[in-house]
Amino acid sequence: MLNVLGPNTTLGYCTNVHAGATFDEMRSNLLRYAVPVKQRVSPSEPMGVGLWLSAEAARYTLDNREALSDLKSWMAGLGLIVYTVNGFPYGNFHEDVVKTRVYQPDWTTAERYDYTLTLAKVLAELLPDDAEGSISTLPLGWPAHSGGTDSDLHRIKSASAGRLHDLVHELARLELDTGKHIHIDIEPEPGCILDTATDVTDFFSQYLLDSPDDVSIRGYLRVCHDVCHSAVMFEPQREAIQTYRTLGLHVGKVQLSSAVSVDFDSKSGNDRLAALTQLKSFAEDRYMHQTCVRQDNGAVQYFDDLPDALAKFDDEPRGEWRIHFHVPVYVDTFGHLGTTQKEIGAFLKAAALDDELHHYEVETYAWNVLPSELQREELADGIADELKWVRETYGKPSD
C-alpha cells in the first residue's frame, strides 16, 4: 500500500512467512497468498510485497532472464509491487529445525556476499523505474559461530566490513548501470554480534566509516529496524532512532513486528502459574526465541532461547519477560500474556520526521508455529488483518 504511513512510503508484508525455497514455490506462494491479501486490503490499488528468495531461488532467477522478465510483468499484472527483499535467511527458512542456522553463512563468507549481490541485481530488475530498493540482512552473524572471544569478534567484524565495503562499490556500479538505488540494511537481532543500536553504530564507526562524511557508506549501507527485536532488548524506540541519527545513519527499512511479553511480578497465585503454563507453549523447536528478563532494579538478563530462561527460573519466574516470538501485530493481550504492540506506535512517532525512511513491512513469519489460540484458519486473513490494523491505527490521511 502506497503513502499509508506518509508521503512516498510503501507498506507491505514479508513473504518469508511462506514455506518454499525454490523459484516456482515462491511464485506459487504469491498467487496463493499475496493475491488474496491484496484483495482484502487494497483491491483497487497496488500493494507492496517484501520478497524473500533463498540463495537457490535468487541464483535461478538471475540466471534465467526470461523467467525474471516474466515475473516482473506477471506481478505488475496482479498489482503487486516488489520494493524490498529479505536477504536474512539464506536457505530453507521453514525446515523442521532452523534455530541458529538462519545466521549462516555469516558476513565473513563469499557465500553471504554473493547471495546479497545476487538479490540486489534481481531487485534492480524488478523495481519500477527510478524506484528505491532495500535489502535487509543479518547483523554479521551469531557469536558462537565465530568462537565468541573478543579476538574472534574483532576478526569477524573486520572481515565483514571488508565484504560490505566491496558490496558498496558494486551497488554504486549497479546504480550507474540501471538507475536503481538499492541499499543494504543491517538488521540487529537479540543475541547476534550486533543486537542493539549502539552495537550497530559502534561497528560503523570503528570498521566502516573512514570519515564523518563518508556519503557512499551511509548511502548504500543502512539499518533495518525490527521493532520486535528492539523491544525484546528493552531498547526504547526513540533512543534507538536517536543513536542512529547521531552517527548520521539512516533507517532504510522497518519491520513492524511484535514480541510476546509478560510481567510476572504483576501477577500472583494462579494467574502467575497460568501465565507460565501459557508461555511454555511458545517453546517450539523451529526458530530461536531469544528472551530477556528485566528485574525491578532495571538489570536485564539475556537467554539465547526461551527454554533456557524457563529452566533457569525453575517454575518460579520473576521480572518482566520479553520473548523474540513474532506474534500478530493486531494482538495486544491474549490469555495471561501480553505483547509489545505499543512499541510499534513508539517507533512510528519517533521516526515521523525521517524523510529518508520509505519502506515498511509487517513481518510475522511465525504464523505456522504459533500456539492454537493465535492461529487463523486462512493465513491470508491474518496477514490482511495485520496490514489493516497498521493502516487504521497509524495511517496518514492523503492530501
Q: 68-79, pLDDT tens digit by residue?
A: 999 999 999 999
| CATH code of the domain made up of 10-258+329-394 | 3.20.20.150
For residue 338, name the pLDDT band (cuts at 50, 70, 90). Answer: very high
Residue 238 corresponds to which cell in the numbers above? 526513540
Q: Write down the pLDDT at residue 186.
A: 98
β-strand pairing of 10-14 with 359-362: parallel
- Entry pTM: 0.96
Indicate if the pLDDT at residue 11 is higher than 80.
yes
For the purposes of burial, counting CB atoms within 10 Å of the CB of 299, is it exposed (0-12), middle (13-18) or buried (19 or more)? exposed
The residue count of the chain comes to 399
Residue whose C-alpha cell is 518469508: 16
Indicate if the pLDDT at residue 113 is higher than 70.
yes
For 163-220, write each residue's pLDDT tens digit: 999 999 999 999 999 999 999 999 999 999 999 999 999 999 999 997 655 779 999 9
Q: CA distances (Å), 209 to each of 9, 217, 388, in order? A: 28, 7, 40
All structural domains of the chain with their residue ranges: 10-258+329-394
Q: Write down the pLDDT at residue 315.
A: 81
Percent of the chain with pLDDT over 90: 89
